[in-house]
Amino acid sequence: MPERILFIMKKFLSYTVLLLAVVSCRQNPSTTEMMNVFTQIDSKEIPDNVVHLMADDWMLITAGTSEHFNTMTASWGAIGHLWNRPVAFCFIRPQRYTFEFAEAQDYFTLSFFDETYRSALALCGRVSGRDVDKVKEAGLTPRILESGNVAFEEARLIIECRKIYTDFFSPEQFIDNAADIYPAGDFHKMYIGEIVNVWLMVND
């Protein structure tokens, strides 16, 4: 009889452990089996029209560490070639929370998504990380890249950049009336990043 009780207890214990493992996998989105597969490509192999990519698809600019980062939507930017290196440009107004992270870090990432994520990007461009956990609200999953830089699991294209030049636009340098867009004088800061890695999602 005691052997039978011991057998039942062992069975109960093993089922409980199994159940806990399943529950913990479902709760942790970074579980390996749920991760998308990205392949590394050269910046010259980016399959998109980059003007369309920036202006119409939008992107998330992300900077920070795996423990502490912020992200925001942007549609002003460029990808090109400068000082004999592949580069990406982006422009961040000083009042953005992301600005603090972009200033503090040596790297930033640009994440591009398919149309399914339009509302997620709209949200990340409407609210501030100072006020809400917008990554959670948007239903996005942070992906910590091999370099330690932060991007997003759901992105179809990720560009990792190392800051090589930054500067604020200055009013006296504008040649036409483009500066009219800054009635409050809150000029964007330009970040030029050397493209160090490009990742393309391959499993969708």
Ligand X SMILES: Cc1cc2nc3c(=O)[nH]c(=O)nc-3n(C[C@H](O)[C@H](O)[C@H](O)COP(=O)(O)O)c2cc1C
Q: Which is nearer to ligand X, 97 or 169 (CB)?
A: 97
Give the nearer residue to ligand X in terms of CB position, either 70 or 197: 70
> Which residues are bridge partners to 191 per DSSP?
90, 166
Please say which residue, 121 or 198, places its beta carbon nearer to ligand X: 121
Query: Nearest distance from residue 185's CB to ligand X, in Å?
Result: 14
Shortest-Cβ-distance residue relative to ligand X = 125
Closest CB to ligand X among 96 and 143?
Answer: 96
Q: For the CB of residue 68, give the shortest distance to ligand X in the complex, in Å.
A: 13
Taking CA 131 as the corner, what is the angle to CA 126 and CA 132, rounded to the nearest 5 degrees?
75
Q: Least Å distance between CB 121 and ligand X?
A: 7
Closer residue to ligand X (CB): 88 or 92: 92
State the minimum distance, in angstroms, from the CB of residue 167 to ligand X. 15
Residues of this chain that interact with ligand X (CB under 6 A) are: 58, 70, 72-76, 91-93, 96-98, 122, 125-130, 188
CB of 189 to ligand X, least distance (A): 9
- β-strands 77-82, 157-168: how paired? unpaired
What burial class does residue 103 get, using C-beta atoms within 10 Å of its C-beta: 0-12 exposed, 13-18 middle, 19+ buried?
Answer: middle
